[in-house]
């Protein structure tokens, strides 16, 4: 299920995200496009719409069980880059 729009979708349509560490050691939501990172993950449509919904609902913190201080900026950057003019890998 997508943590943004909360619709069910095939795993192949969703981006997996996990908890990682930012440059200052703070918890961040890290994109895991390969789906191989260990630990708790959440799934999100890789679109700006669903990312914004998830941020507004604080869905990342809830899904990833991080109460405070969680930055989702890396996923925002990833989603923005995925919709740039560059072709997908
Ligand atoms: Zn969605």
- How do residues 38-63 score in pLDDT, each as one tens digit? 989 999 999 999 999 999 999 999 99
Tell whether the model's pLDDT for residue 85 goes beyond 80: no
Q: Is residue 32 part of a domain?
A: yes
Q: Is residue 65 part of a domain?
A: yes
CA of 78 to the centre of ligand 1 (A): 15
- Count of structural domains within the chain: 1
Beta bridge partners of 15: 44
Q: Is residue 27 part of a domain?
A: yes
Q: Which residues contact 81 (CB under 8 A, 6 or more apart)?
A: none
8 Å CB contact between 39 and 18:
yes
- Segment 2-16, tens digit of pLDDT: 999 999 999 999 999
CA of 31 to the centre of ligand 1 (A): 15
> What does pTM read for this prediction?
0.87
CA of 3 to the centre of ligand 1 (A): 7
- Bin 39: left if φ > 0, else alpha if -120 < ψ < 50, else beta: left
* Phi, psi values for residue 50, rounded to 5°: -70, -35
8 Å CB contact between 12 and 19:
no
């Amino acid at each position: 299920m997508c943590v943004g729009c909360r619709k069910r979708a095939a795993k192949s349509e969703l981006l997996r995200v996990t908890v990682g560490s930012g440059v200052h050691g703070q918890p961040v939501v890290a994109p895991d496009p390969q789906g191989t990172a260990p630990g708790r993950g959440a799934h999100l449509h890789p679109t700006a719409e669903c990312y914004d919904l998830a941020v507004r609902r604080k869905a990342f913190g809830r899904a990833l069980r991080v109460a405070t201080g969680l930055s989702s900026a890396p996923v925002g950057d990833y989603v923005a880059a995925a919709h740039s003019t560059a072709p997908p890998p």
